[in-house]
């Protein structure tokens, strides 16, 4: 398929959206005076704003381009990533989000200081969180490279210009600015993709016909159901959603615990419904035998095949909006970890906001530079980034949601055993599921053993 792309139309729409986002960022930045306002919007997000912010944080490259890419290669099994992330939101909505909001902390790493009483463990937890989030940010930039390649845009300066612009408007107004842009972007993305999807009603009806789904899977895909190999794709995003600083920052910014609960549940339901769209496009590319260029996206090829020129370009801008909405949220979350967890090492006395914005700039630039050395499956980069935080931090973080009187020795042991397990399994041949289960089991086992030892010593000393 020879794709003839009207790049001028694409850049015109993208430039118009970008200038609109910049205007919103400048307008929002006027009221930012403190770090509390910059990172947590004065803890004043209502259900409407928070729901859209949570959706935008995940409606990025993984949910759209990554899911379509997996669907093109493995069929309906590609839905597992989206289901996993949506399940994480639903679990948050069933009560965990309320508990997180009740902690009244600024970052998830801060839990290790306020509840476990260990400042240095907070620094380790924050570092692990930063590495995970930075990897996810890197995946967003790699995804935009894939999108541009599909549009036959190969000039690296175009990519650099787009991301420099995003970094600039993201660092202006902090979370409040990002949330306002998120609302606009989610409405734009869901509107254009819903229109395109429902315009293909006859083909889309296949998604509700279970016998036909089974026939499509068997005929077009050689992948056999293997729960053990696919299970990590499902549960790693689920567990990550429960401890991710990117999501937690928004939940910490909720007006009330009820606001956090309702918003998380609504966001999860939305993401489950929306995930049908990229799955459909990925499978349709396979059915139509569309040729996907190396490093390109089946979603781009399918939309070009079925859409008018204008709708196609709007959809491309929608994908870019999805990527940038997730990226801006990640920039704010990483900056939050750096500035608030490592404040003792930063010159924040007289220039807090200036220093914070400069840090956001450096984080964005570092990911942009690294993206030129990365390519491949976006979900692979995302899943491995998630894995770092899940294996090392999940056990002590989630336990802290439900208890306040805990032992720092247990948290230390859990984190260290998780790190050792994460590194150790790389040297032994084993299934993907075991590479996750063994380190997690070590982390949990270490926590329990250390807790029992400390508790026993305290009882004997009474």
pLDDT-based confidence at residue 4 (cuts at 50, 70, 90): low
Number of domains within the chain? 2
What pLDDT, on a 0 to 100 scale, did the predictor assign at position 227? 64
If asked whether residues 252 and 279 sit together in one domain, one would say yes
Quick one: 61 and 206 in the same domain?
yes
Structure token digits, residue 52: 């859209």
In a domain, 151, yes or no: yes
Same domain, residue pair 316 and 387? yes
**Percentage of residues of the chain with pLDDT beyond 70:** 90
Task: Verify that 369 and 416 share a domain, yes or no.
Answer: no
Q: Are residues 313 and 444 in the same domain?
A: no
Is the same domain home to 416 and 308? no
Residue 422's pLDDT is what?
A: 92
Whether 252 and 109 have beta carbons less than 8 Å apart is answered as no
Give the domain-ending residue among 333, 366, 391.
391
- Domain assignment present for residue 434? The answer is yes
Question: C-alpha distances in angstroms, 429 versus 139, 181, 225, 421, 435?
Answer: 26, 45, 21, 14, 9
Taking 60 as the threshold, does the pLDDT of residue 206 lie above it? no
259: in domain: yes
CB atoms within 10 A of CB 1: 11
Do residue 414 and residue 368 come from a single domain? no
In a domain, 400, yes or no: no
- Which domain does 442 fall in, by range? 407-462
Q: What is the pTM of this model?
A: 0.85
CATH code of the domain in which 189 resides: 1.20.1730.10
Mean pLDDT, range 116-127, rounded to an integer: 93
The pLDDT assigned to 376 comes to 63
Q: What CA–CA distance (Å, rounded) separates 71 from 79? A: 7
Residue 124 scores a pLDDT above 90: yes
The whole-number pLDDT of residue 163 equals 87
The CA distance from 41 to 253, in Å, is 6
For residue 316, what pLDDT is reported?
85
Residue ending a domain, among 391, 417, 448, is 391
Residue 6 has pLDDT above 70, yes or no: no
Same domain flag for 178 and 266: yes
Tens of pLDDT, residue by residue over 285-322, are: 888 888 776 666 788 888 888 878 888 888 888 888 88
- The answer to whether residue 131 sits within a structural domain is yes
- Domain endpoint, select from 391, 426, 449: 391
What's the mean pLDDT when you consider all of the chain?
83
Highest averaged pLDDT of the listed ranges 103-112, 312-321, 343-352, 440-449: 440-449
pLDDT greater than 90 at residue 120? yes
Domain check: are 128 and 157 in the same one? yes
> Is 74 in the same domain as 125?
yes
Give the residue-averaged pLDDT of 209-224.
Answer: 68
- What is the reported pLDDT for 295? 62
Indicate whether 252 and 331 sit together in one domain: yes
User: Does residue 204 have a pLDDT over 60?
Assistant: no
pLDDT at 210 over 80: no
Q: How does pLDDT run across 167-189, given as a tens digit for each residue?
A: 887 777 777 778 888 888 888 88
Residue 173 lies in a domain: yes
Instruction: List, for residues 408-422, the tens digit of each pLDDT value.
Output: 999 999 999 999 999
Residue 6 lies in a domain: no
Residues 102 and 216 in one domain: yes
Residue 393 confidence (pLDDT):
94
Greater pLDDT, 388 or 343: 388
Q: Confidence class of residue 440 from pLDDT cuts 50, 70 and 90?
A: very high
Separation of alpha carbons 323 and 57, rounded Å: 9
The residue with greater pLDDT, 178 or 361, is: 361
User: What's the whole-number mean pLDDT along residues 249-269?
Assistant: 90
**402 domain residue, yes or no:** no
pLDDT band for position 226 (cuts 50, 70, 90): low
């Amino acid at each position: 398929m020879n794709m003839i792309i009207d790049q001028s139309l694409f850049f015109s729409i993208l430039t118009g959206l970008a200038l609109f986002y910049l205007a919103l960022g400048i307008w929002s930045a006027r009221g930012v005076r403190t770090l509390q306002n910059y990172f947590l919007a004065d803890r004043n997000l209502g259900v409407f704003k928070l729901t859209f912010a949570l959706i935008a944080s995940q409606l990025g490259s993984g949910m759209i381009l990554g899911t379509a890419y997996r669907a093109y290669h493995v069929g309906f099994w590609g839905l597992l990533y989206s289901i996993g992330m949506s399940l994480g939101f639903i679990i948050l909505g069933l009560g965990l989000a309320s508990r997180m909001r009740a902690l009244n902390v600024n970052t998830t790493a801060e839990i290790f200081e306020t509840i476990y009483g260990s400042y240095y463990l907070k620094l380790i937890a924050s570092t692990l969180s930063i590495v995970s989030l930075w990897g996810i940010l890197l995946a967003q930039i790699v995804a935009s490279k894939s999108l541009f390649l599909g549009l036959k845009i190969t000039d690296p300066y175009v990519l650099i210009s787009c991301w420099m612009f995003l970094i600039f408007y993201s660092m202006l107004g902090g979370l409040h600015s990002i949330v306002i842009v998120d609302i606009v972007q989610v409405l734009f993305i869901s509107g254009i993709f819903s229109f395109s999807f429902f315009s293909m009603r006859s083909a889309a009806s296949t998604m509700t016909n279970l016998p036909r789904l089974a026939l499509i899977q068997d005929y077009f895909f050689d992948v056999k159901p293997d729960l053990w190999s696919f299970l990590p794709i499902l549960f790693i995003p689920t567990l990550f959603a429960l401890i991710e600083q990117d999501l937690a920052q928004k939940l910490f910014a909720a007006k009330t615990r009820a606001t956090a609960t309702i918003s998380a549940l609504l966001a999860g339901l939305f993401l489950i419904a929306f995930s049908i769209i990229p799955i459909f496009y990925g499978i349709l590319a396979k059915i139509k035998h569309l040729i996907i260029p190396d490093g390109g996206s089946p979603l781009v090829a399918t939309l070009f095949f079925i859409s008018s020129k204008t709708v196609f370009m709007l959809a491309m801008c929608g994908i870019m909006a999805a990527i940038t909405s997730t990226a801006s949220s990640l920039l704010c979350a990483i900056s939050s970890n750096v500035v608030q967890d490592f404040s003792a090492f930063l010159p924040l006395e007289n220039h807090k906001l200036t220093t914070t914005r400069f840090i956001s700039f450096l984080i964005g630039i570092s990911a942009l530079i690294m993206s030129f050395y990365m390519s491949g499956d976006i979900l692979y980069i995302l899943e491995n980034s998630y894995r770092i935080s899940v294996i090392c931090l999940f056990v002590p973080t989630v336990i802290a949601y439900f208890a306040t009187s805990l032992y720092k020795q247990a948290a230390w042991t859990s984190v260290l055993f998780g790190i050792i397990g994460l590194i150790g399994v790389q040297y032994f041949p084993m299934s993907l599921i075991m590479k996750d289960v063994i380190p997690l089991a070590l982390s949990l086992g270490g926590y329990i053993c250390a807790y029992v030892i400390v508790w026993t010593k305290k009882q004997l000393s009474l």
